[in-house]
Chains A and B, each alone.
Chain A
Amino acid sequence: MMTFTAQAADPIKLGVLEDQSGDFALATIGKVHGIQLAADEINKAGGIAGRPLELVIYDTQSDNTRFQEFMRRVLQKDKVDAVFAGFSSASREAYRPIVDQLNGFAFYNNQYEGGVCDAHMIVTGAVPEQQFSTLIPWMMEKFGKKVYTIAADYNFGQISAEWVRNIVKQNGGEMVGEEFIPLGVSQFASTIQNIQKAKPDILITLLVGTAQSSYYEQAAAANLHIPMGSSVNVGQAYEHKRFKPPSLANMYVTTNWIEEVDDQKSKDFVAKWHKMFPNEPYINQEAENSYLAVYLYKEMVERAKGSTKRDDLRKIVDMGDVCFDAPEGKVCIDPKSQHMSHTIYLAKVNDDHSISFPKVWEDIKPYWLGEAGCDLTKKNPNAQYTPSNPPPKG
C-alpha cells in the first residue's frame, strides 16, 4: 500500500486497485503510473478545490478475489472518495456489487465489451461501437468484403465478435468464418489452417492475454499475411514492441491513444511521462485513460464546489458537459451512460513495426447504451447489457 501526500489540508483520497503482478501486469502497470503522474501535476498546481490528492494504492495481483477484498477495504476502512479500479471485465463485475452495496463511486478506465449501465460507475474506456464503427467500414473499403474473426472465447471476445458481425453485414460484407479461442491457449496450428482455407480479405483479431498473442508470431512463421484489424491488440499490450518484425505488419488498430501519436500535445505528454517514469516499457491507451480520468474527477469536484459526494458529482455529469482536453483530444462524459467520447486513431503497424496513422476520427460518442435504452439521468438498473440482451423497453 503506497500513499502519495502533498500539502497539509484535508486531502481527497483516491483509491487505486490495479494489477501490479500476475498475468495482467503487462498492460496495467502503466495505469498506476498515469494516475500518479496526474496526481503529482494536480498537487503541484494546488490540488483539487484547494485540497491535496492522496492516492491509496493496492496490488490486486490479477486476482478477482483481491478486487473484492480491497474494494471493501478501500471503501470501508480507508474511506476514499472515489476508486479507480479494474482491468479485466471479470474484476469489474466482481467489484461492482460491492461498490453498489457500499455506495461508492468507481472509475473503470479500460476498454471493454460495453454495456455497463450503473450510476456508481464512470467508464472512460473505449467501447465496441466506438472502435468497430470506425475500423470495419474503413478496412472493408480498402481490402475487400470477406471477413474472418478470431476472438478470445469469453464475454469480451464474443460480444466484440457480435459487433463485428453486425457491422460487416450492415456494410454489405460477408463473414467467411468465426473462431473462438479459449483463454490461455497458445498453440494455433489449427486456427492458422482454418484461416488459410477460408481465404478472407480481412482478419479481425480479438485476442486477449499473453498466451493468445503468440498467434502473431506463429501466423507469420506460416507465411500468413492477410491484413489484420483489431480493437484490442497493440493498443493495450504493445505486441508490436515485443514481437519481432514483421509479424504484426499490415495490422490496423483503432485505439483512443497510443504513445506513437505524433502531434505536439502527445509528444509533450510522453516526454513528461518519461521524465517521471524513465523505465516505462510502453504507455498504452489504458494508461492515458487513467491519467485523464483523474482530471475528469477534478473537473467534477471543482464544479460541484468541492463536494465529493457521488450524488453531487452526478448532477454535474448530468449537465452533459464534463470534458477534458486530454492528450488524445477533447473527451466528454455522456450523461445517459456515464461513458466517455473518444478520439479514435487508426494505427497502422508497418513492416518494421513503426506506427503510422492513416486516419483520425474525432469525438466518437458511446452512443449504443443511450440508444438502447439506458438513461442514468432517469434510473439506475445497475446492470450490464449486450446487443443480444439490451435494456428492457419502457
Chain B
Amino acid sequence: MGRRSFFLRLASRLEGPQTLGRGWRFWVGAAVVLALASAYPLVTDSYTVGNTVYFFNWVFMALGLCVIWGYGGALSFGQTAFFGIAGYAYGVITLNWGADYGLTLWATLAAVALSAIVAAVLGYFLFFGRISGVFLGIVTLAVTLVLERFMAQTAGPEWHIGAARLNGFNGMNGMPNLTVPWPGDNDPLVLAPDLPLYYFVLALLVIIYLALRILVNSSFGNVLVAIRENSERATMLGYDVRKYQLAAFVIGSSLAGLSGVLYTTWGQYITPSSMGITAAALPIVWVAVGGRSDLTATLLGTILLIGGFQALTVYGSQYALVVMGLLLVVTVLLAPEGLILALAYLPQRVFRRGARDPA
C-alpha cells in the first residue's frame, strides 16, 4: 500500500477500453516510433527539425479537442480562442519581464493557467446552462470570433499591457524563445526552433500523451464516454454530467493554450488571425479526419494531415486547396471514423476477424 502500488495502478491505466493499442506489441511499436523520432533530427537538417517542431506544436490542441469532443461528445469551436489567449499572455508576460531566471517557463505555466481559468468560467456558463450539441459549437465559435474581432482592432498605442503593445491585426512579435536556465554560471539554454526545442516539445508530447491515456482509461474517462453515448442515462446513474463536461473542457482548452504558447515561442509571433474562423475550423478537421474517438489516432492523424497539407501546398501550387477538399470529402465518405482508425481496423475488415479491440 505504498507509492509503488500507486504507480503500478497508474501504469495499468495506460491501457484500457477507451484507447486503441494494448499489449506488448503496441508498446514496443510505440517505443520504436519514439526512438526513430528521437534519432531522426540528428540526421536531418535544421529546417526539417524546426518544421517538425512546428507540427508538434499543433498536436496538443488536437489532443485537447479529442478529449472534449472525441471522448466527451461536446463540439467546441473554441480551441483557437484559448490558443490565442495563452499565446498573447505569454507575449505580454515575457515582453514586460524578459526571459531571465527561467521566466519564460513560468510564463508558459501562467499562460496555460490563464487559459484554464477562462475555460472554467466559460465552461461553467456553457455546461451549467445545459447548452449542448450544435448550440455549444455556435457559442464557442461566437466567443472565438468576438476575441478575434476585438484583438484585430487593438492597433493603437493605447492598447498595451505594460510594455507589451497588443498591436492589433499586425500581431505581436519580438517575444523571446523559451529559455531553460542552466545551473552554475553558464548561459541559459535558448530553445530556438532547433534540436533543443525539438527534444523539449517531444518530451512534452510523450508526457501529455501518456497522461491523457491514463486519464481517459480511468473512471473519469469512462464516465465521460458514458456521457457522450447517452447523457440522460449517465445522469440517471447519479453522475453530475455538467461537472465532468466542465472538467474535460478545462483540460482540453488548457492543452489548446499550451499549443498557443509553443507556437508563439516557435515563431516569436502571435496574431488575431490565429483565432479566425478558418483557424477555428482546422482543429476540427484534423481531429475528425484523424479519428476523434481515440488519442493515438488523433496524434498520428494530426501530424499526418498537417504535414500532408504543407507538402501539398509546396508541390501542388494552386491545386493544393482543391486536393485538400477532395481528401476531406473522400475521408468522410469512406472512412468516417477517421483515417487512422480505418487503417487500424483494416486488417480486421480485410481478413474478416471478429473485433478484438472495442471501438
Q: Interface residues, chain A, CB within 8 Å of chain B?
A: 1-2, 20-21, 58-59, 61, 63-66, 68-70, 72-73, 76-77, 89-90, 93-94, 96-98, 101, 153-155, 158-159, 180, 182-183, 382-384, 386, 388-389
Contact = CB atoms under 8 A, between A and B. Distances in A.
A21 B174 contact: no
Given A68-B269, A76-B47, A97-B268, A158 B168 contact: yes
A90 B173 contact: no
Given A76-B46, A97-B174, A182-B153, A20 B318 contact: yes
B153 A153 contact: yes
A1 B317 contact: yes
B170 A93 contact: yes
Nearest to B192: A101
A2 B314 CA distance: 9
B318 A64 contact: no
Contacts of B170: 89-90, 93, 154-155, 384
Interface in B223-277: 267-269, 271, 273-274
17 contacts: A1-B317, A61-B320, A64-B273, A68-B267, A69-B54, A72-B47, A73-B47, A73-B314, A90-B169, A90-B271, A90-B273, A155-B170, A158-B153, A180-B153, A182-B153, A183-B152, A183-B169
B33 interface: no
Contacts of A20: 317-318
Given A90-B171, A93-B170, A76 B315 contact: no
Interface in B160-197: 165, 167-171, 173-174, 192-193
A388 B157 CA distance: 7
Contact of A182 (B149, B167, B173): B149
Interface residues of B, number: 38
A153 B171 contact: no
Contact of B47 (A77, A89, A382): A77
Given A93-B173, A97-B173, A159-B155, A59 B317 contact: yes
Contacts of A77: 45, 47-48
A265 B167 CA distance: 41
B51 A69 contact: yes
B310 interface: yes
Contacts of B321: 21, 61
Given A93-B171, A182-B152, A1 B47 contact: no
Interface of B: 45-48, 50-51, 54, 149, 152-153, 155-157, 165, 167-171, 173-174, 192-193, 267-269, 271, 273-274, 278, 310, 313-315, 317-318, 320-321
Q: Which of B46, B54, B155, B315 has the most CB of A within 10 A?
A: B155
Contacts of A93: 167, 170-171, 173, 269, 271
Given A68-B267, A94-B173, A389-B165, A158 B318 contact: no
B153 A76 contact: no
A77 B321 CA distance: 23
Contacts of A153: 152-153
A155 B167 contact: yes
A73 B45 CA distance: 11
Contacts of B165: 389
B53 to A, nearest CB: 10
Contacts of A89: 169-170
A153 B51 CA distance: 33
B282 to A, nearest CB: 10
Given A90-B273, A93-B269, A388-B156, A155 B318 contact: no
A76 to B, nearest CB: 4
B169 A154 contact: yes
A266 B221 CA distance: 69
Contacts of B268: 97-98, 101
A389 B273 contact: no
Contacts of B47: 72-73, 76-77
A58 B312 CA distance: 11
B317 A94 contact: no
A304 B334 CA distance: 59
B79 to A, nearest CB: 15
Given A93-B269, A388-B157, A1 B169 contact: no
A76 B54 CA distance: 14
Contacts of B192: 101
A97 B192 CA distance: 12
Contacts of B317: 1-2, 20, 59
Contacts of A183: 152, 169
